Amino acid sequence: MCVSRCLRCVAMSLVPMAIICTLCNILLLFPELKTHYLLEGHVTREATWATGMWGSGFLVLLGARAFLQSSRTSGCWAFRSQMLCQVLYSSVCLLAAGSCCLVSATGLSQGPLCLYNTSSGPTWGVPLQPLPDRHSGYLYNRTLWTEVCLQPRSVVQWNMVLFGVMGGASGLQTVLCGANVFNSLLGLVLGRGLCHNKVSPV
């Protein structure tokens, strides 16, 4: 077991996933790559919460930076104090990534905000969300992907892909941060790692 090596591996794995989550959340704010939908408030609610930017993005990047710094700490007591900090950092990253994963799953299941036809004319709303008296959801009904939403064009596929990727990446972050909590606790108890321990000659 080598706690420092695990910290370094987790940190390096979290960085690309944090960048992916940030980019996905930014793209979700600009359907068709146009700004007027965001300015007019016609963007899916879960995208405007920006959990991919501040949660799985910024906070996880800060945690990854702290993990890399702790992996270079020397000295027994200094290392153990850093491990105590890493338990806290990892817990914050775990909550941040978990919230992004939950929000992504919600946005994926509810469907996008779009312009659709009603009896009173075109209206902005969330027409694809699961309703007991209408349908159980749109994810398994491809005919709803192109027939319901008028604007933005292809917003259903846009949201499905981006929320899916962001949810998958933040889910992996959640697993890694959870493992890092356990790894940091081991470092707190056992020290830098058993891989450097040697039996002294008598």
Q: What local confidence, expressed as pLDDT, does residue 20 receive?
A: 97
Q: Where are the domains of the chain?
A: 3-113+152-196
CA triplet 126, 130, 132: central angle to 5 degrees? 125
pLDDT at site 49: 96
Angstrom CA distances, 188 to 67, 135, 145, 173, stand at: 14, 51, 51, 22
Task: Please write the tens of the pLDDT for every residue from 92-117.
Answer: 999 999 999 999 999 999 999 999 99
pLDDT on residue 145 = 85
Give tens-digit pLDDT for 139-164: 888 888 888 899 998 899 999 999 99
Flag whether pLDDT at 201 surpasses 80: no
Question: What value does the mean pLDDT of the chain take?
Answer: 85
- pLDDT recorded at residue 73: 56
Quickly tell me which residue has 């007019």 as its tokens.
40
CA 149 to chain centre: 27
Summarize pLDDT for 54-97 with one digit per residue, the tens. Answer: 999 999 999 888 888 765 655 566 667 777 888 898 999 999 99
Neighbouring residues of 153: CB distance < 8 A, sequence distance ≥ 6: 32
Number of neighbours of residue 156 by Cβ within 10 angstroms: 22
pLDDT above 90: percentage of residues in the chain = 54
Give Cα separations from 4 to 74, 156, 195 (angstroms): 10, 43, 10
pTM: 0.84
